[in-house]
């Protein structure tokens, strides 16, 4: 086989492995962002965090209705505490994602 | 409320399910810190010390044959998979996670089920970790014109009147499998728990798709028996897919369908 073709195929295989590993990291981060409160499931994302912040900005922190992952309404009575919990979990997961992503980039070598 | 994990293991001459269950239970203790109950019809030795409870049941006499692959290696053997509908009556716990012995826990995410209000949680989707396998697409429904698939590989239930009825119905479907597989246009004659659970859920919902039951907080990732298992070390699994690509996963739960390959890795691990 022509050397340049062989190198291209080797490059393609490494890229495929890298992309697969990256998808797995994303999935892991997504799964780790699942949070339960009052028996309801929430997947923490920026939209949820900002929704809490909106209430906190208008000083309405005692109670509000949120929609869980299945669009069921839930009354959250301590929005500040809820916001702290989800932000903390989200940040921890992003940190882990960041560390593992950097390791993956380092391991992939020159692509 | 008592909580725990229930495992079923019936050995055949190809796969030592009890050994696999012991390894699975070790991972459960490490990551979920839950007691484990083994339901088995086989000999149990003192090396298998990861179980809190063991219940011995008669060997199911199904005479069902399954092909066990380990990449290119093939073995045909009896497949004793008919005890699972008895999970409700056999579990010593109020809240139970049931899982296959080849479902390997590598994180604590499944503990979130105990924070849920739901009485039953299961996966509707399974995802091959190569993200391109055709199996993933083919397994969305029980047949070409059938209902949505669900995966009895791992599920959670708490003892309620509704879940009691669900398991009674699954047992009925198992006993009348010839009728139900025709009614739901399932070509395969072999009884599969995945199909029986999907049919029972459909019937419990008055033959509709509803929001019950909801999904587990952990996606069902899997590798098939055509994928090779290269190693397991420090919570990191390494696989080589059928098409040759290598893959590593760390801290993720995984269903390893290659049971022969898994047992070889367990031997090295022990």
State pLDDT tens for residues B234-268. Answer: 899 999 999 888 999 999 999 999 999 999 999 88
Query: So what's the pLDDT on residue B270?
Result: 67
Q: Please, where are the H alpha helices in B205-253?
A: none
**Cα–Cα distance between B99 and B260 in angstroms, integer?**
18
CB contacts under 8 A, B 94-123 vs A, are: 107, 109, 112, 115-118
Segment B161-175 shows an average pLDDT of 97
How far does B209 lie from chain A, in Å, by closest CA? 14
Domain limits of chain B?
A: 3-269
- The answer to whether B230 faces chain A, any CB pair under 8 Å, is no
Element (H, E) at B177: helix B177-183
Query: So what's the pLDDT on residue A110?
Result: 54
Residue among B219, B244, B245 minimizing CB distance to A27: B219
List of residues 6+ apart from B191 with CB closer than 8 A: B62, B64, B81, B82, B174, B177
* Paired tokens of B139: 């397994």
- Per-residue pLDDT for A111 more than 60? no
* Paired tokens of B264: 């070889």
**Cα–Cα distance between B18 and B29 in angstroms, integer?**
16
- Per-residue pLDDT for B224 more than 70? yes
CB A66 within 8 A of CB A42: yes
For residue B203, give the nearest of B175, B178, B182, B183 by alpha carbon. Answer: B183
Query: Would you say domain B3-269 falls under CATH 1.10.1740?
Result: no
Q: What share of chain B is helix, strand, coil (3-state, %, to 5)?
A: 30, 30, 40
Q: Please, where are the H alpha helices in B96-160?
A: 134-138
Beta-carbon contacts below 8 Å between A and B: 51
Residue among A20, A32, A39 minimizing CB distance to B131: A20
- Per-residue pLDDT for B215 more than 90? yes
Query: So what's the pLDDT on residue B268?
Result: 86
* Paired tokens of B53: 């409870």
CA B158 vs. chain centroid, Å, equals: 17
- B-chain CB neighbours of A89 within 8 Å are none
Of the two residues B82 and A37, the one the predictor is more confident about is A37
**Cα–Cα distance between B129 and B255 in angstroms, integer?**
10
How far does B143 lie from chain A, in Å, by closest CA? 26
CB B63 within 8 A of CB B177: no
Residue among B116, B219, B252 minimizing CB distance to A41: B116
Residue with tokens 């849920």: B116
**Cα–Cα distance between A92 and A97 in angstroms, integer?**
9
Under an 8 A CB cutoff, do A24 and B247 touch?
yes
**Cα–Cα distance between B37 and B34 in angstroms, integer?**
10
**Cα–Cα distance between B261 and B162 in angstroms, integer?**
38
Cross-strand pairs, B214: B121
Q: What's the predicted TM-score (pTM) here?
A: 0.94
CB B8 within 8 A of CB B84: yes
Segment B26-53 shows an average pLDDT of 91
List Cα–Cα distances, B101 to B7, B21, B153, in angstroms. Answer: 6, 5, 9
């Amino acid at each position: 086989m022509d050397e340049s073709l062989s190198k291209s195929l080797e490059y393609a295989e490494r890229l495929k492995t890298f992309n697969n590993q990256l998808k797995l990291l994303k999935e892991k981060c997504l799964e780790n962002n699942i949070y339960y409160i009052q028996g309801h499931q929430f997947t923490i994302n920026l939209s949820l965090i900002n929704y809490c912040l909106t209430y906190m900005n208008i000083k309405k922190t005692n109670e509000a209705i949120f929609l869980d992952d299945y669009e069921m309404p839930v009354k959250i009575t301590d929005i500040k505490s809820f916001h702290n919990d989800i932000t903390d979990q989200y940040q921890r997961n992003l940190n882990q994602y960041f560390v593992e992503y950097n390791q993956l980039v380092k391991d992939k070598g020159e692509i | 409320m008592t909580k725990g994990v229930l495992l079923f293991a019936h050995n055949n001459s190809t796969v030592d399910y009890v050994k696999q269950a012991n390894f699975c239970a070790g991972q459960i203790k490490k990551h979920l810190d839950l007691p484990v109950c083994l339901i088995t019809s086989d000999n149990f030795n003192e090396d298998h010390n990861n179980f809190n409870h063991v219940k011995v049941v008669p060997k199911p006499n199904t005479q069902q044959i399954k092909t066990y692959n380990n990449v290119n290696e093939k073995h045909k053997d009896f497949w004793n998979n008919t005890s699972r509908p008895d999970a409700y009556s056999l579990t010593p716990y109020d809240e139970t996670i049931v899982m296959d012995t080849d479902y390997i826990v590598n994180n604590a995410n499944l503990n979130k089920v105990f924070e849920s209000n739901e009485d039953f949680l299961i996966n509707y989707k399974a995802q091959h970790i190569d993200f391109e396998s055709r199996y993933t697409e083919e397994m969305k429904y029980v047949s070409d014109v059938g209902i949505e698939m669900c995966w009895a590989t791992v599920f959670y239930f708490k003892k309620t009147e509704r879940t009691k009825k669900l398991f009674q119905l699954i047992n009925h479907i198992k006993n009348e499998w010839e009728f139900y597989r025709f009614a739901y246009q399932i070509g395969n004659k072999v009884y599969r728990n995945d199909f029986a659970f999907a049919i029972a859920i459909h019937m419990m919902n008055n033959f509709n798709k509803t929001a019950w039951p909801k999904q587990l907080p952990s996606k069902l990732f899997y590798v098939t028996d055509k994928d090779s298992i290269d190693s397991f070390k420090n919570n990191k699994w390494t696989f080589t897919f059928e098409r040759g690509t290598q893959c590593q996963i760390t801290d993720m739960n995984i269903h390893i369908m290659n049971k022969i390959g898994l047992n070889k890795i367990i031997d090295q691990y022990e």
